[in-house]
Structure formats: structure tokens, C-alpha cells
Structure 1
Amino acid sequence: MIRRYAAATTDFVTTHSRIVLLLTLLLTAGMAAGTTHLSMGGEGGGIGAAVDTHVDDRAQYIEEEYGASDSGDDGVARTAVYVRSADGNALSKEHLLATLRFQRTVLEADAVDAALRERPAGSAGPRDGASSIASMVGTRAADESDPTIEEQIAALEATDATTVTTIVDETIAENERARRLLPDSYESGTATAESHQVVFGFDEAADGRPPSDATAALHDAASGRTDPTVFTVGEHALAASQGVFVENTMTLIVPVVLALILGVAAFTYRDPVDVLLGIVGVVVSILWMFGLLGWAGVAAGPAAVIGPVLVAGLSIDYGFHVFMRYREERNADESVRPAMGRGLRSVAPALALVTITAAIGFLATVATPVGMLRDLGIGITVGVVAAFGVFLTLIPALTVEVDALVEGAGFDRHRRPLGQGRYVRSTLAGAVTLARRGAPVVLVVAIVLATAGGLAWATLDQASVQQQSEPAAEWKQDLPGPMGWEENDLISRQAYVADQFRTTEEGDRMQMLIEGDVTDDGTLDAIDAGLRTAERRGAIPSQRAANVRSPLTVIRSVAERSEAFGATVAAADADGDGVPDRNLDAVYDHLYRIEPESASQVIERSDGRYESLRVVGPPEAAAGTAVPDDRATDLRAVEDRIETEQDGLTATVVSDATAQRATLETITDGILRTMVLALVAVFGVLVATFRLVHGSGTLGAVTAGPIVLVLGFVVGGMALLDVPLTFLTALLVSLLIGIGVDHNIHVGDRFAQELDRGNGPVQALHRAVIGTGGALLGSTLTTVAAFAALVLHPNPQFESFATLVILALLAALATSMLVLPSALLVWWRYGCGEWTASKDPEPAPA
């Protein structure tokens, strides 16, 4: 019944090709209209949205039991501008004057002047909403309590360089606000620093952020200033950087991608007409994808970027199978329509099954808690269905008309399938020979390698996101004309700021929650060891250690002011190292009696019981920068040190770094569960379909088996090529089932068709591998060539993306051409029993 329905449909496409073309043209116009309704936003607002982790849970617990680390909700939105000196001292007289002149310029801008939060009368702080070391030094030099910026500049100009150095030294030593404006590399006690930041405080916009027009004025004023360099890393710097990024990609990467696709397609198709028809199919498939999403009201989200790439790859594959099967079916003296009809009728069930199973693999992401993954799964599934429709209607009908027209003009349109070429045929035949002579060995080797690769999952490096830390290679920058890669300073500047500066928001601090029996004797020693580990590993820079507030710092501070409490602490310090290590209940009790407010900030007490302790660390990395991946590792080491030092304690660091790492771990764990569900579903569909169509469910199971091997090979390849597990690569791994299932279905279905025609197992396998292998090889080479061009991109995320897809495509090709033939022969010998040929088999290709 299924074959009859497929035959009726495909016969209509080839027999009434002009009607099909008219209908698909109208449908394409409707899809084009649907793209105008497309929303590019996505669900959930980000990769980590809606993902609950233990770090988020402990952050909420801290908020409920302790309150915020420091009140930062003062209605002021702060943004920083950075000043960096090429000669290593941004605190010299000349550079401080340059900083003040920059401040004067931006304060004259209407957008900045209107948005600045001025200091209330009688309060400390900058009068004009801008806080900088230059202003502090200028104020001291003017010897006035509240000089204007013009007066600061005049005073500093009139002061000699030696005196300025003395003022800088005094300002930093006496003013905590000044020290917080310096980089982590600043050496205490000196009057030199490589850089510093100027912090502007604005009235919050409706979204709680600084007004965009004000920050735009800061960015514009900073641009082009050198000696010292003045720069921002916020939204406007990012927007300018993205413009350069897109231009670089379009001028260097896209031409190479197109050239490689056309070049490899020309080699594999060996016919410019078929190349053009295939490209038309790819473009229309992507158009249909976006049109369907637009009419359905589904946001494109990440599918707007990743979707077209993956759908293009699948479209190329569909095109190769349609064209190669058509070439295989056409006799020397036969017209176009009958051959296309037989070819399409033969390949349609396999393409339908590929579409269904690929959709299952992609739609499995809907079960994840990550909105971005759900958007991507839906978007790509729609694209796959669109490609299936295009290459079973529009492209066959168009091919019939075009080939008839070309042949009517006197040109021969008979073409040999790629698999029938001398070198390709001998290579594919060798795969069959390998299966016939050593199938068990092939299977054992493949299973061992795939298992080893799968076990490498635990060894993959984890990073929230890959950052480009090095400039593009010089040869890429030296390419002629517009192809030359224009270097962008934002990447190195973001890395520098993330490494050297902390946020200016008091409420955005790293915190640590210690739970368990916090009155055990060694608890405070364990916390002290953990904090020393944090300083040693750089998780808490030594120059920021004074910003740490912990039970120990509070106990020591109160002990200095209270003689009685000092005696309690001394009595609890058995080894005399300044850290109480016994009778901690008594220490906590005494602290709560005399300083309850200070105690409650770092020690949780409920109904007389001590439940947890809190450490408040220095501010987090500056806004607008990515969190260094090794920071999460360093903070995890602090947790481990505390838990190792004292059994029964659980330490959780709450910070941007640990939150991102926990989110990544939660996503990858969810992806593993999702892949298992998808694999089970794909197995079920293939077993049921092969049972219904070919009368053998076990053949469907054998066909599905290599998908697991593909996953193992890809993970092993990631480990060998040092591709880390990031948000992006984890997302792509979740899509591998949809990519890996394709090739096996074509080989398995063709093998069953050949058995239906009465061929023996070896002959059936030979015809299946030769018949489908050319199309599989051609589509793989073309798609791999396109993705290989992305390796030219200096951004490591593009390289990882390309590497993963190439690994998946090559692994799928290898398993379908080398492993699956062996599995099919083993199945025939030991598991098939007697094959019952179909009552209505497809006729054999001529």
C-alpha cells in the first residue's frame, strides 16, 4: 500500500510536471510572503534561560537567608570607560590630564549631561557622576573640596610631575574607591598602573541599564583616542565589532564556501545543469523553512544561523540521491519522464524515512529545558520537511522540463551516476569485498573504536564559550582588496578587561555558601584554607583580598574592638594561628550577642542553631566581558579544598563563572538523556517501517545500529582534535542523530529493494552500495567542502562548528559504506532466516 501511494504521487509529479511547477511556484511565493512575518527572536532569552542549577538554588538561598551581598539597587546604572597606556603608566601627569580632557568632552555631550546622576548635596562622591583617579588627583591638586573639571585640569597642569606622582600615591593609599578603579596587575604601594577605569553613573533607563544614547556618546568620544588609548567594551563597541565581523565573514568566508560548493558539485555532478538545479533546490528549501516558520508564528531564534547551514547540507544530500537514481534508471534510448518516475518512485520511501527519523532526532531537543535548543530543533525540523517537499516535487518536475528542453535543442542529457565511475566504483566494490571477507572483524573493530570514542566524553574540556584570543593570521589580513581580514581590537580589549578589572556594582560579588555542621572544630580552618587556595590560584586576586568578608574577617575585626570577645576567640584557638578551631558555638554565640548585625551577614542562625556560613568575595569581572573558563575551575578548586579539609561540609561558590559552568553541565546531561530517547524513537520507527514495507523489523534494527557508532566516532574525534564541550558544541552534538541516520537508511532500504528483486545477499549488497554510494559520496564531499571553508575563520566557535559537522558527515559516510555492509551480511547469515520478497518490488535499474 505504501509503495502504491508513493508510486501514485511520484507519477503525478513526473507526468504532470508543469502543473506541479505552477503549484510549487505559487507555494514558494506564499513562503516568501511568510518570511515577512518571521520573528528572529527566540524563546527563553538565552542559552541558560529556564535551566535551574544547584548554583542558582544556592544563590536564591543566600538571598533569602542573608539578603544581597551589598546593596547595589540605588537607581544608578554604571558604565565604565577604560584608559590604557602603551608606556606602562596610565597614572602619569600627561595621561591623567588626557583622562580629564576626555571627561570634559563627554560631559559636554547633551545625552551624557541629561542622564548623569549628580551627587546629592552633602554626600561624598563625584559631583558630575563620573568617578576616576584623574578626578581624585585633580581635586587634591586644586586643594579645593569640590572643584569643577576645568579647575581640576588647570590645577594638574600647574603641578610638576614629581608632585603629581606623590599625589597619586597618597590618593591610592588613602582612598578605597581609587584602588577599585585600578587593574588587578597594580602593585600595591606604587604610583604606576598600566591602566585604570573611569566610571560614569547614570539614571537608570526603563530596562535598568544605562541610557543607550549616553553610552553611545561615551563610545564615540573614546574612539580614536591614543596615547593613552581610551575604549569601551559595551553595546556600542560590540555593535561596531559585529559590523566588522560580518563584513569579514562575507568577504573572506562566503566566497570560499561558494567556490568550494560549486567546484566540488561540478566535479561530482559533472553537469552544470544539474548543479544549477541542485542549487535552486537548496535555496528554495531554505526559503520554505523560513516561510513556514513565519506563517506558523514560530520564532527562528538560533535556527536563523545554524538552520540554513544544516538544511543546505541535507538538501544537497536529497538532490544527489534524486539525480543519481534518475541517472541510474535512464536507458540509452528512453525519454526523461519514465526514468525520472522510476527513480523518484524508488528513492522516495528512503527520503521519506530519512526525513521522519531526522525530524525525530532534531525534535528530541524539544524535551530539553533550554528554549534555544527547542527553537533550533523546531526550526531545523521544518527545514528538513521543506527540503523533502522541494526535492520530491519542484526539482523532479523542473528537471523533467529542463532536460526535455535541452534534449529538444539537440543536446544529450544522459549522464552516468557517480557510483559507476571507474575509480569510485572500484572503491565502493572494495567495501563490499571487505564485508564479504571479514564482516565480523569489521564490526568488532568499529564497536571497539566507537566505544573508546564514546568514553572520551568524560575527558572533553568544558568551556561556556570559546573566545577568540589571538588576532587573525597575518596572511588572512594581507589578502588583496576586500578579502583581507580587517582586525578588530574589541576581542583583545574584552579579554584584557575581563582579566584585569572588576565590576563597579557593589551588589555583583562572588559569594560562597558553606553548609553542614558549621560548628565542627575544623570548620573555620577549612574556610581559611579555601580562601588561601583562592588567592594562590588567582580566583581572588591578592590585591582584592581586603574586599573579602567572611566569618573569619568579621571575628577578627570584632575581636580587635572588644577585649572580652578577643578572649573568647583566643580561648577557642588551640594552635595559636589566629583561627578558632574549637568551641565554635561559643564564638558564634558571643559574636551574635555583641555584633548581631555583622554576625548575621556571614553566619546563619535559625532557632538557636547555626545552619550555614557565607563568604562575600571581591566584585565579579567587569560588565561587557566574557567570564574566563579557567575561573570556574579555580573556584571549584576552592570548594574542593574546603570539603577535603573538613568532612561534613558542602561549599558552593555562587558567581557568574560557576553559574555558567553549572548551566553547561545541566545542558549536556539533558542532551545525553535526549539523545537516548531520540535513539530509542529512531530505532522504533525504523523497525516498524522496515517490518511494514519489507517484512523484516530486524533489518530496520540493523540499519539503525550504526547511528550509535557515529556518535561514538564524533565524540572520539572531538577528543583527538581538542574540540571543547561548549554551549554551541553541546547543542550540535544533540543534532547528530538527525545527521547520522541519513546514509544508513539509503543503504539499508536499497539492500532490501534488491533482495525484493530476487538478488542474493552479496549481489544485493553490491548493487546497494554501488547504487547509493556515489550519491552518498558526492553529497558528503560537497557538504564537507562547504564546512571546511569555515575553518578559515579565526573565531574558534566557527572552527568547532565546522569540525563537528565534518566529523559527523565523515563518520556517517564511513559507517554506511564500511560498517553497515558488514552488519547486513552478518544479519543475513545469522538473523534473517528466509527472505520473503515483496509482492510489488521496484523494477531493477536498467
Structure 2
Amino acid sequence: MDYQRYIDWADDRIVEDSRKVVIVFLLLTGVFAIGLGNISMAAGTSQFTTGLPAEEALTDINREFSSSFSADTGNTQLIQEGTNVLSKESMLRMLRAQERVEDHDELRVTSTSSAATIVATQLDPEATTTSAQIDAVEEATPTEIDQAVRSADERSPQFSGLVSSDFNRKSASASATIGLVVHEIPAGISEGSGQGGSSPLTSIQKQADFTVSSAGQGTITVFGSGMIAEEFSNVIVDSLLIVVPAAVLFIFLFLTIAYRDLADLALGLLALLITIIWTFGFMGLAGIAFSQMLIAVPPLLLAVGIDFGIHAVNRYREEQVQGIPPGPAMRTTTDQLLVAFFIVTGTTVIGFLSNFASDLPPIQDFGLVASIGIVFTFFTFGVFLPAAKVELDRLRVRYPIPTFSRTPLGSEESRLGSVLRSGVVIATNAPAVFLVLVLVSSAGVGVYASEVDTSFTQEDFLPPEETPAYLQQLPEPFKPSDYSVTEQLNFLEDKFESTQSSQSTVYVEGHLQRDDALEEIYRAGEDPPESFVRQNGRAESTSIVTVIQDHAERDPEFRRLVERNDRNDNGVPDDNLREVYDYLFASSAGDQARDYLTEDRRSTRVVYTVKSDAEQDEVTADTRQVADDFRMTATATGQTVVFKAVSDVILESALVSLALALVGATVFLVFIYWLVEGSPLLGVANMVPVLVTVALVAGSMRYFGIALNAITATILAITIGLGVDYSVHVTHRFADERERHDLITALDLTVRGTGGALLGSMLTTVFGIGVLALAVFPAIGQFGVITGMSIAYAFLASMLVLPATLVVWDALVNDDVSVRSLFLPGIASGLDRDEPAERTRS
């Protein structure tokens, strides 16, 4: 295929029609800018859980069981802490807070409850309203209140879940308690386990917070999913406000050093701006919401764009210092670099598109947006920047536009050029031995990296409990918001054993009026697994069985009905279940029964209490084991199980994406180098430093304790895309120089010219992406650190490992270096460096 005629056509447009090219790109920028106003925001964990079997089971549970779990209601928690939240004064404070929120129609409150509510009804069973309950507590003596607290603990199964784990029955005291407010939400709320980036509860809970605070209830904090949703969004905005200016500052600093010319710097920054506008404009026009994962896209595009820009200007300057005019100098530059840029773009797009193998929609969106952005980067820096540079230099001839520097980075006489030549020194002294050692060491690092952790937790998407002091010192508008969600979640986890984080659920479907249905549920609690809390040798759980047993203790007639239909006298009816259910649903326990059994008696849920310190994978495995013991269809679910399922998908996605990226990039490079250089083996040589880089990145993740989570799971495939960027520039430049020079001269020219541009690009992008570590979004911070590492590793591998690899490749396809000499020092001494060599391609 004669690809050169396409390159020549592009060269002509860039050089001869430079002004038209610049105008077309500026007009397209205006078109894409229209889409910027259509960008929406998506944040939180719910976007990652959609479609998983455990999540679908949890959605079914939330839809089917009780009004408190239905899609048109939502809950707010009133968290109270103090020396003794069960004292008379503290309980009155909680009840008055409940009354305040009930009196505000805009809060759409359907019911409130708390430990104080239960204690009040123990004092006065007729106190069915909050106002009456306040009267009951006010009229009681401290002794009567203590007795009522002990009675509530003894008689009410809900009481223990509303008071902290340090509850002391003897002294009738606890340091914290939770009140629950149920709101009617016509628009619906998230039915799944994850939290979303927006919630109809947000405004309601903010108003509830104001209402409770204005009543002087200083020891009560309003908390709920709406506040979590708001904080998810705040984290994105605050991270962008910190990261983007810092990245611009570092990029400006290093580009100033790399370009050393004000006009060239302005062109480079303009090209970067066009790339970002095109990419985000595309998102708006395509209706793709901006999520936490997409925070990483701008730095990635800046990384590739900076690399392309420095290479284009540096290669152009190499021609200009020889006295060549702008037009011919740029034609030579684009003739070479358009091919290199195309190869880099192709492999990088393959790396990003490999994320489509993931079952998680946000990761797929990331792959799509990043891929489109890289294509835009290719056109901006491969076409617009060269055309604008030619036009600028032509204007310099006619107008007094100042020129500060035209010297390329890494010129032969510079100290930098001498340092960059280190890889050539290694390559000329037993390169095969060095290459074998590197590959064996990389394999060992890869084995070590196989134990890297995977995780998916809500905390990955929330800021730390304490914002770092250096961020708090930032001026407005860069200073982060005041965050409280993580602190509240940690408080709930520490204080309350029966919160959602210490429960797992089994969703059971089948014919639940069959005689042995309840016995099957009861038997599932026998000999519980290690992570489950035990009570009298059985798993502590709540289900339709426990509802029946509790109501039987309070209702003598129902107790006799259960006993008549309990053939083995274990308290679980195993006959005439239709009659038992009908009585139960018609009784005062009907609402509670509907929490665990559907009206059609076709599905039920069993909620098991698990140890608060149990690991996510342990809880998941044990819940799945219990579900497998059911003869009816049973699915393990609950937030812990769903998040573990996402974690498993993340690991699978990372491995599949890595494999696809490696295979895809290798096949692409083999084909391209066969087409362009006539040597498919050169594509294989190109991938050697990339494999080394991937191993080092994965090993570093395990060493530094960085887990594969929803954000960092993309890093291995991204490493291939960015790593190939560096090695392609070296390989392609070497192939061109090898046509005209001997082996060592070709290597020297390559590492001094291209290596200088790569060093400038590496430093700029490492610091530009490294600023992600400043983000208040923890997972993005980790992503920035490990991406910065991957770029540094890619540069070092291209400068140190790739020259040796190219010498080995040269020995295999040419005759002037013997294979035997690859294992001995002093290859350069056996070459005639005075005469250009005519190379054959194979």
C-alpha cells in the first residue's frame, strides 16, 4: 500500500494551505463549544452497580418489601450523641426534633421513629403521636424513664438497632442513638445499593438540617443519602477546581522550559485548549454525563497533547537550525511525525477502547471519551499545530514578532544529550544479556503484582474524614467544601453494630406457602459461617420467621395458631401456612410482615447480622454459601455483597482490558511496521519496553498498597496506550535514521533528538498528571500517582531498554552485527561508522 501519497497530501495542506487549516479548526472549535453547555453530572457508586445479579436482587427487595423500602419514599437519620442520649433531657430533644420536621409540610414526612419513641410508648401505650410521647416523657420521673428504657430493650426488637453498641442496660444509658424520618418522594429515589450523584432527598435533607438546627438541637445531626449524593458532586467540582489550575501551572512552567519561546508556548497552549473543548463538547453533544472517572480524561489528553506538541516543535527546530525555511522544514517534520502520531494514536485508542470489555458502564464511558479525545489530539497536534506554526513563522518574516529560541532539546553538544546516550552505551555492551535480565526481572515483578488488591467501597468516592491542612489553606474558590459524610459514616460504623454495613441479605423466591418453606428458612440459620453473628448457636437474623415468633409472644391467639401448625415444636409453623400468613398480615404486625414477605407469598428476604470487622470478601463468600443451602431460588445480596461483586468485575475488567490492549496493540504495531517499514518484527520490538512498564506499574501498585478500584482498574490498559507513545517515537525515528546511517549513529541521533523531546514531555506530563494527587477524591488521587509513575517508567524503558532491543532487532534483520556479538561488549568497535549503510527491510 502506497501510504506516502496520503502523507504528501496532508503535508501539502499543512504547508501550502496553513491559513485555511487554522480557520477550519477554529470554526470547528466554535461548533464543539456549543456542546459544553449540555454537559450533565453523574456521581456516586450507583452507576457502577447497575446490571449485576446481586444488585438486581437488592432492587427487587427494595421494590417489593414495605413502604419504607419502596421507590417513592426515602429515609433521613437524626444522629444524636452525648453523655447519655437516653436521659430525660436528651430524649425530649430528639422527640422535639421529630415534631419539628413533622410540622413542615415541605419535608413530606410520613412517619418518624426513634429509641425515644419506643421508650415513650413504654411509659404510655396510648401515646401514638409525637406530641403525646413528649408529654409522656415530660411527666415521667428519671426512675420511671430508666425502667422504661430497660423495658424497651427487653420488649422491642427495634430498640437495640437504634442505640449505640455501648448501651448499658443496667444504667439505662448510651452515648449515641438514631432517629428515623420517612419522607414521601414522588419522583422516586435510587433503589439500589449504590449512592447516586443526584437525589430528590438532597434538598429535603438540607431543609431538615436547617429545621433541626434552628430548633436548637445542637447535639442532633441530620444525615442521609441526599447529603451523600451532594458530597459526591461536591468532590468532583472541588477536585477540578484544585487539579486543573495546578495542572495548568505545571504545564505552563515545563512548556516554557521545553519551548523557550513565547509564541510557540502560546500555540502549544491553544492546541491543548482546542483538544479539551472538542472532547468535552463531544460529550455534551453526545449526552454523556461527566462522572468521577472522567476527571482523569483532561490530564490524559494533556499528557498525549504535550508529547505531540513538543515532538512537533522539536523536530521542526532540528530542521530549522540547519537553515531550512519554514515550509520545507515543516514538510520534513510532518512527513515523519504524522506516521508516528498515527501509530501512537492507534495504539492509545486500542488501550482505551479495551475498557469496553468491562461490564461497568462508567468504565465503558471512560474508554469511549478518552478514545475520542485522543483522536482529536491527533488532529489538533498533527495538523493544526504544524499549520499554525508555519503561519506564525511566515508572519515572523514580515513582522517583528520576537523569537527567543530555535534550539531543539537534546542537541549533540548539550549535557542533556550526553545523559540521554546512556541507553546507547548499554545497547553496545552485551545488549542481549541486558535484555534477558530485564525481561526475567519484569516477569518476577509481574508475579509479585498478581497479588494486588481489588476493592470497591463507598469511601473510594468520598473525601477523607479530615481534609489535608495544605488544601484548607487555599483561597476561595479553590478551598474545598466542608465535608462531613465520611466522618458520619465512620461514626455510624463505630457506634452501631446493626447498620447496613454489618448486614447481608438473602433474597429467596419460591412457593412460600409450601409446608416446609419456613422450616427451610429456619434451618438456613443453623451452624452459621464465621463472619455471621451467632445468637444461641444460630445466625442472628431477621425474617418472616422472626416476625412470626415475635408476634406469637405478644398475641396469645396467634401463638395457639402457630403451635397447632408446628409439628416439631420448634416455634416455626410447618402446616397451614396460608392461614398463618393471613392472620399475621391482618394483625398489628402486618406492616412488619410485609417488610419480609410479599403479598403474593412468592418472595421473601432474610437479613443476617455479620461481624462489623469482617472483610468484604469473607462476608460475600459466607452469604453466598448460605444462599446455596436453600432449595428454593436464593440470591446473596446487600450492599457488602453488591460491592464485592463490583470488585470482582473490576478485577476481571482490568485483566481482560490488559490482555485486549496488549494483543490489540501488538497486532496493530506488527501490521503498521510491516506496512510502513517492511519489518513486522519492529512492532514486536516496540512492545518490549511497554511490557516492562506494565510489570513495573502493577508491581508498584502492590508495593505502595494501591488497590485496583473503579478508577485505577483502567491504569494497566492506559499504561499500554501511554507507554507505546514513548516507544513508538523512538522506534520510528530510529527506523528513519537507520536508512541513512550505521547502527550506532542511528541510535545516537534518535536518543539525542527524540530522547530530548521525550524527556520534556515526560517531565511535563508527570507533573501535569501528578497534580491529581491533590484531588479530594481519593481514587483520582491514587490514579494520578500511579499514572505519573507509569509515564516515568515508560520514558526510562524507552531510553534504557528499547535501544538494546533495537540492536537485537537489527542483528536479526541485517548482517553487520552478528547474533553472537549481542552477548559480548563492544559492538560499536566492530562497525564502520564512516560510511552510511544501506539497510534491507524484512
Shorter-chain TM-score bucket reads 0.7 to 0.9
Alignment of 1:281-292 (within 5 A): 281-292=271-282
TM-aligned CA distance change 1:833 to 1:372, over 3 Å: farther
List aligned pairs for 1:182-331, cutoff 5 A.
182-187=163-168, 190-207=171-188, 212=201, 214-223=204-213, 228-238=218-228, 241=231, 245=235, 248-249=238-239, 252-295=242-285, 304-331=294-321
Deviation at 1:525, TM superposition (A): 10
Show the counterpart of 1:814.
796
Identity across matched positions, percent? 25
2:438 alignment partner in structure 1: 446
Instruction: Find the residue that maps to 2:450 and give its secondary structure.
Output: helix
2:489 maps to 1:494? yes
Cα distance change, pair 47–312 in 1 and its aligned pair in 2 (3 A): same
Name which of structure 1's ranges 392-401 and 469-478 shifts more when overlaid on structure 2: 469-478
- Determine the C-alpha separation between the residues in 2 that align with 1:370 and 1:98: 45
Alignment counterpart, residue 741 of structure 1, candidates 724, 728, 734: 724
SS in 1 for 2:127: coil
Structure 1 residue 350: Cα displacement: 0.2
Q: CA deviation at 1:78?
A: 4.1
- Paired with 2:699 and 2:71, the residues of 1 have a C-alpha distance of 51
1:197–1:146 Cα change, 3 Å: same
Query: C-alpha offsets along residues 570-607 of structure 1, whole Å, 9 cap, x if unaligned?
Result: xxxxxxxxxxxxxxxxx9xx9745869999x9xxxxxx
Partner SS for 1:237: helix
CA 475–544 in structure 1, closer or farther in 2 if over 3 Å, else same: farther
2:391 to 384, 397, 401: 401
Q: State the alpha-carbon separation in 1 of the partners of residues 483 and 401 from structure 2.
A: 55
Once residues 489 and 382 of structure 2 are traced to their aligned partners in structure 1, the CA distance between those partners, rounded to angstroms, is 49
C-alpha distance in structure 1 between counterparts of 2:75 and 2:38, whole Å:
36
Aligned-residue offset at 1:320: 1.0
Contact 1:51–1:666 (Cα < 8 Å) also in 2? no
1:805 Cα deviation (Å)? 0.9
Kept in 2, the 8 Å contact 1:699–1:827? The answer is yes
Aligned runs of 1:72-151 on 2, under 5 Å? 77-85=73-81, 87-112=82-107, 115-117=108-110, 129-141=111-123, 143=124, 145-146=126-127, 148-151=129-132
Equivalences for residues 745-784 of structure 1 within 5 A: 745-757=728-740, 759-784=741-766
The answer to whether the 8 A contact 2:733-2:754 is kept is yes
Farther off after superposition, 208-217 or 358-367: 208-217
- The corresponding residue for 1:799 is 781
**Structure 1's 9 and 532: CA in aligned 2 closer, same or farther, altered over 3 A?**
closer
**1:510 aligned counterpart, secondary structure:** strand
Q: 1:715 offset after TM fit, Å?
A: 0.5
Match of 1:9 in 2: 10
Q: CA deviation at 1:488?
A: 1.8
- Alpha-carbon separation, structure 1, partners of 2:748 and 2:15: 29
Q: Is the 8 A contact 1:535 1:541 kept in 2?
A: no
Measured after TM superposition, the shift of residue 239 of structure 1 is 5.6
Paired position in structure 2 for 1:635:
619
Name the residue aligned to 1:704.
687
1:664-743 correspondence runs (5 A): 664-743=647-726
Match of 1:435 in 2: 427
The 1:492/1:131 distance shift into structure 2, 3 A limit, reads same
- Hey, what does 1:418 align to over in structure 2? 409
Quick check: 1:336 aligned with 2:310? no
Aligned to 2:28: 27
TM-aligned CA deviation for residue 824 of structure 1: 0.8
Deviates more, 1:715-724 or 1:189-198: 189-198
Q: Which amino acid aligns with 2:680?
A: G
Within 5 Å, give how 1:430-579 maps onto structure 2: 430-465=422-457, 466=460, 468-478=463-473, 485=480, 487-501=482-496, 510-511=505-506, 528-531=526-529, 533-535=531-533, 545=540, 547=542
Q: Which amino acid aligns with 2:733?
A: R
In structure 2, C-alpha distance between the alignment counterparts of 1:633 and 1:324, rounded to whole Å:
52
Answer yes or no: is the 8 Å Cα contact 2:531–2:619 preserved in 1. no
User: Match of 2:321, SS?
Assistant: coil
> Are the counterparts in 2 of residues 456 and 716 from structure 1 also a CA contact under 8 Å?
yes
Q: CA RMSD in A?
A: 4.6
C-alpha deviation, 1:637, in angstroms: 6.1
Answer yes or no: is the 8 Å Cα contact 2:624–2:636 preserved in 1: no
Q: Distance in 2 between matches of 1:25 and 1:57?
A: 47
Q: What is the alpha-carbon distance in structure 1 between the residues aligned to residue 427 and residue 402 of structure 2?
A: 41
Measured after TM superposition, the shift of residue 535 of structure 1 is: 2.2
Deviation at 1:703, TM superposition (A): 1.0
Q: 1:674 Cα shift?
A: 3.1
CA distance in 2, matches of 1:461, 1:258: 33
The one-character-per-residue Cα deviations of 1:4-31 (angstroms, maximum 9, x if unpaired) are: 3213312321232212222222222222
Distance change in 2, residues 1:201/1:158 (3 Å): same
Aligned residue identity for 2:163: L
Give 1:380's aligned residue.
370
Distance 1:229 1:560, change over 3 A: same
SS of the residue aligned with 1:266? Answer: helix
| Inter-CA distance 372–148: structure 2 relative to 1 (3 Å threshold) | closer
- Residue 463 of structure 1 aligns with an amino acid whose one-letter code is S
Q: In 1, distance between residues paired with 2:293 and 2:717?
A: 14
Which one-letter code corresponds to 1:380 in the other structure?
A
Return the alpha-carbon distance in structure 1 between the equivalents of residues 164 and 508 of structure 2. Answer: 27
Gap regions ≥5 residues in structure 2? 191-198, 511-515, 554-558, 585-602, 818-836
Amino acid in the other structure paired with 1:750: R
Residue in 1 that maps onto 2:145: 164
Deviations 1:30-70 (A, max 9, x none): 22234445566699972232345xx569889x98xxx9788
What secondary structure sits across from 1:91 in the alignment?
coil
For residues 60-103 of structure 1, the C-alpha deviation after alignment (integer angstroms, 9 at most, x for no partner) is 9x98xxx9788966787241322222x43222222222212222
- Which piece of structure 1 moves more, 816-825 or 10-19? 10-19
- CA distance in 1 between partners of 2:672 and 2:143 (Å): 86
What amino acid is aligned across from residue 247 of structure 2 in structure 1?
V
User: Which residue identity is paired with 1:116?
Assistant: V
TM-score of the superposed pair, with normalisation by structure 1: 0.80
For residue 418 of structure 1, what is the amino acid of its counterpart? L
In 1, distance between residues paired with 2:706 and 2:613?
A: 14
TM-score by length of 2: 0.80
Deviation at 1:417, TM superposition (A): 1.6
Query: For residues 272-327 of structure 1, what are the alpha-carbon distances to aligned partners after superposition, in whole Å with 9 as ceiling and x for unaligned?
Result: 33222211111101111233444556666667433222112111111111111111
Equivalenced residue count is 774
**3-state SS, counterpart of residue 50 of structure 2:** coil
394-403 vs 203-212, greater mean Cα deviation = 203-212
CA distance, structure 2, for counterparts of residue 781 and residue 35 of structure 1 = 30
CA contact (8 A) 1:93 1:164 kept: yes
Contact 2:258 2:310 in 1 (8 A): no
SS of residue matched to 2:533: helix
Deviations 1:733-790 (A, max 9, x none): 3333222211111111111101122x11221122112111111111111111122223
- Residue 144 of structure 1 deviates from its aligned partner by 6.4
After TM superposition, the structure 1 stretch with the greater mean CA deviation from structure 2, 798-807 or 327-336, is: 327-336
User: Residue 70 and residue 541 in structure 1: after superposition, are their counterparts in 2 closer, same or farther (change >3 A)?
Assistant: farther
Partner of 1:392 in structure 2? 382
SS in 2 for 1:726: coil
Q: 1:224 to 1:405 in 2, by over 3 A?
A: farther
- Spell out, residue by residue over 1:603-656, the C-alpha distance to the aligned partner (whole angstroms, 9 max, x if none): xxxxxxxxxx999234799xxxxxx99542341463699899x9x999974322
With over 3 angstroms needed to count, the CA separation of the structure-2 counterparts of 1:174 and 1:76, relative to structure 1, is farther
Report the equivalent of 1:46: 47
